Amino acid sequence: ETGDAAKGQPIVDKVCGACHGADGNSTSPIYPNLAGQHPEYINKQLNDFKAGLRKNATMAPNVANLTTQDMLNLAAYFSAQQPKVRMAKDAALVAEGQKIYKGGNPGSGVPACASCHGPTGAGIPVQFPRLAGQHSKYVLSQLKNFRSGDRANDGGKMMQVIARKLTDHEMQAVAEYISGL
Ligand code: HEM
Ligand code: HEM
C-alpha cells in the first residue's frame, strides 16, 4: 500500500490544485494546506470523504471518482511538498493559544494539544495530523465541526470530546497560535 507521487500530480494539476495549491499550500484560508501532511492522514481523510464519514459538499464530488490507488498517490504527492512558513497575526491571541496548546485548560479538562499533535505541531504519524502553519480560519471551522458533531470521522471521537470543552474564545486563540507554528 504505497503511493506514487508522480501519478498523483496530474490529478492535482487538473482538480485539487485549484483549491489546495499546486504545491499543497493553499492561498485561501478556507482551504486547508496539505503540504507536508502525513500521507496516512491524507489517505484516511480522502477515504472518509468518499465513504461519507466526513461530510463536506465541496470535497464530496472531488473524491467520488478516485480509486483506492489514486488516493494513495495523492497522499504521497501532497505529503512530499514543502510547507510554507507562516506567521500568526494577533499576538494576544497567540499567547493565550500557546497556553492551551502546551498545557490545555486544567480547569475545564482540556488536554494539551501538544500531547497528540506534537510540541511543534508536526503531528505524530500515523494517527495524529500535522497542524503547524494551518490557516486559523480552517482550524477554527474544524474545531466547530467537531464540537457540533458535523465532523464525526474521528474514530475514537477524541476531537469531539475535546472541542466540547473549549470555549469559542479558546478555539480562536488556539487556532491563531497553530497558524504560526
Ligand atoms: C479538505 C484533498 C480537491 C476544497 C481536504 C482534505 C484533503 C483534501 C486531504 C482534508 C484536509 C485535512 O483534514 O487537513 C483534496 C484532493 C483533491 C481536492 C486530493 C483533488 C482530488 C478540492 C477542491 C476543492 C477542495 C477542487 C475546492 C473546490 C476543500 C475544502 C476542504 C477540503 C473546502 C475542507 C473540508 C471540511 O471542512 O471538512 N481536501 N482536495 N478540495 N478540500 Fe480538498
Ligand atoms: C484532528 C486540533 C488535541 C487527536 C485535529 C484537527 C484539529 C485539531 C484542528 C483537524 C486537523 C485537520 O483537519 O487538518 C486540536 C486542538 C487540540 C487538540 C486545538 C487541543 C485543544 C488533541 C488531542 C488528541 C487529538 C489531545 C489526542 C488525544 C486528534 C486526532 C485527529 C485530530 C486523532 C484526527 C481525526 C481524524 O482522523 O479525522 N485536531 N487537537 N487532538 N486530533 Fe486534535
Greater model confidence, 1 or 37: 37
Residue whose CA is at the smallest distance from ligand 2 atom 37:
154
Question: Tens digits of per-residue pLDDT, 147-177?
Answer: 999 999 886 689 999 999 999 999 999 999 9
Domain spanning 91-179: which superfamily? Cytochrome c-like domain (1.10.760.10)
Q: Give me the residue label for grid cell 503531528.
A: 123
Contact 42, 74 (CB under 8 A): yes
Substitution site in 7, 13, 16 for ligand 1 pocket (most atoms within 8 Å of beta carbon): 16
Distance 86 CA to ligand 2 centre (A): 20
Domain 5-79 identical in fold to domain 91-179: yes
- Whether 117 has a pLDDT exceeding 90, the answer reads yes
Distance (angstroms) between ligand 1 centre and the Cα of 59 equals 5
Q: What is the per-residue pLDDT for 154?
A: 83
Q: For residue 134, how far is the Cα from the chain centroid?
A: 7
Say yes or no: domain 5-79 is CATH 1.10.357.10. Answer: no
The whole-angstrom separation of Cα 179 and Cα 126 is: 22
Distance CA 60, CA 151 (A): 14
User: Which range has the worst mean pLDDT, 8-17, 21-30, 45-54, 149-158?
Assistant: 149-158
Q: Which three cell numbers stand for residue 138?
A: 480552517
Task: Report how far residue 74's alpha carbon sits from residue 67's, in angstroms, rounded to the nearest whole number.
Answer: 11
Q: To which residue does cell 489514486 refer?
A: 70
